[in-house]
Amino acid sequence: MMIEASPELSDGFDHWASGGHVNAEASVGCTVAIACSLASVGFGTWYLLRPDRLQPLKESFAPGSFSRLPRLCAQAGSSIWACEGSLPQWRHKTLHLRSGSYHMTALDKAATTSIAGRWAAECEVLQLQSVSATSLGAKSSDEVLCLRVADGCPSEAVEGGVVTVELMPGFGLLDLYGQPGLYHVQDQSLLRSTEMAKRGRYSATDFFSGRKDRVVRALEALLEASDKEQSGRLQVLVNDGAATMAEAGELMQLGETPAGGPAESKLSLVTVLAQLLDSRGDAYALLPMILRAQCAGGPSLRPAASELREVLVRHSGSWQVSAEDICTSLQRGYWSLPADQTGLHLREREAERLLERARRELWAEGSASRKELELQIRKFLCLHLVGSAACAARLRFSFARPAATPSAEGLLSAHGFSPLLGMPGLWWRLELAPLELPEI
């Protein structure tokens, strides 16, 4: 017996079949659209990350185009230069050249930006042509890399000039048992009979204390220190020329008594700096960032870091640190570390655990425990490199008064300056100068 479908049922079947065909076409269309989108994203990623874009920009200039600035340098042999000509790409920017190991310039930029954030000056890595590098005193058969740092200020926006105070405070973490020698009275002080002489010699812990009176004590001790110690930790500049604190304060008109204050409370550049570095000041936020980095670079960690480096080379061969390694080590778990002696002791215990694991590890080829241990050692060595560089961190305070033009304040703001609270007409800026990581 044959069963014939009714016309209505047949129409239903035809309708279902045609609908399925439409759905199939829609599905294919969606698949093609998704594939095209993924292809475009992949092409865009390749375009942004292709090798030629990751290479530093090449820079060349005629010999004699740059003059060296009398700024503080993190290492002996490092130098900072300003363009004397009219090269537009160097307007309000300076050239920072390491003392050697030029291939680590990109690591310097990554470390500075990672630990300082908004306090780090904008910079880019450049590759100098051989003639240009030689004119700056660079001696290398390989490529010479440098940093172009946007740390200048437009002269047309300021009245009188720009005062810059550079400070290299040093290692600011006190050991568990303290350092009693920090507070010995200076025997050769010319002001021994005064109250200043009783404050002892310079202490980095005073500088990082967050207490205005102790910051003043540290700065005044630096001013009283020998020329050799002062030249390595403190530099005062007026329009990029060496000057004294008194000359800089006079230019900024700081020798006046604050409104409503006693006659003996005259302002000085030292008191302004101490006010900014006080725990309630605007500049204090940078100090814990530096101390947190120093926790992994203290003198007590150098023997352990050297031994871990030897272990890694012996079992895994040579290792070239990359900027990605530096950035990765400063992410997970880094910012939760206390920025004080507790953080230092945590890093010391971390080094002890890694050395103990390295002694017990079988170092079997391809084992998961070996890979994980190598990863932890590399991370620790990256933190030690950044910490060692942070022990020679340089803080740059810049002060200026806006010119009497409508665009002056806007130009200063665009270059990182902001009004100083409680001091009408005075603008300031703080930057962490690029760190210089030691070679591993």
Neighbours of 359 (CB within 10 A): 8
- Burial of residue 223 (number of CB atoms within 10 Å: 0-12, 13-18, 19+): middle
CA–CA distances in Å: residue 398 to residues 6, 135, 240, 272, 401: 92, 29, 11, 12, 11
- Widest Cα–Cα separation across the chain: 128
- Around 325, how many Cα atoms within 13 Å sit in the side-chain half-sphere? 21
pTM: 0.81
Angle at 395 between CA 216 and CA 347, to 5 degrees: 95
Closest alpha carbon to 271 in 289, 255, 290, 292: 255
What 3-state class would DSSP assign to 169? coil
As beta bridge partners, residue 94 has 82, 149
Q: 306-314 contacts: CB < 8 A, separation 24 or more?
A: 307/355, 308/351, 308/354, 308/355, 308/358, 308/377, 308/380, 308/381, 309/381, 309/440, 311/355, 311/358, 311/377, 312/374, 312/377, 312/378, 312/381
Strands 123-128 and 163-167: unpaired
In contact, 387 and 298? CB cutoff 8 Å? yes
Closest alpha carbon to 94 in 136, 154, 134, 149: 149
pLDDT, tens only, 380-418: 999 999 999 999 999 999 999 999 999 999 999 999 999
Q: How far apart are CA 223 and CA 248, in angstroms?
A: 14
Q: How far apart are CA 161 and CA 163, in angstroms?
A: 7
Residue owning tokens 């010995």: 184
- pLDDT by 10s per residue, the chain, length 440: 444 444 443 444 344 344 444 444 445 454 544 444 444 434 433 333 344 345 889 999 999 999 999 999 998 899 999 999 889 999 999 999 998 889 999 999 999 999 999 999 999 999 999 999 999 999 876 789 999 999 999 999 999 899 999 999 999 997 544 444 444 443 433 333 334 434 568 999 999 999 999 999 999 999 988 777 778 899 999 999 999 998 999 998 886 544 444 444 457 899 999 999 999 999 999 999 999 999 999 999 999 999 999 999 999 888 899 999 999 999 888 999 999 999 999 999 999 999 999 999 999 989 999 999 999 999 999 999 999 999 999 999 999 999 999 999 999 999 999 999 989 999 999 999 999 999 87
**What angle, 0 to 180 degrees and rounded to 10, lies between the N-to-C axes of helices 286-294 and 368-390?**
130
Domain boundaries, the chain: 57-149, 155-291+391-432, 301-382
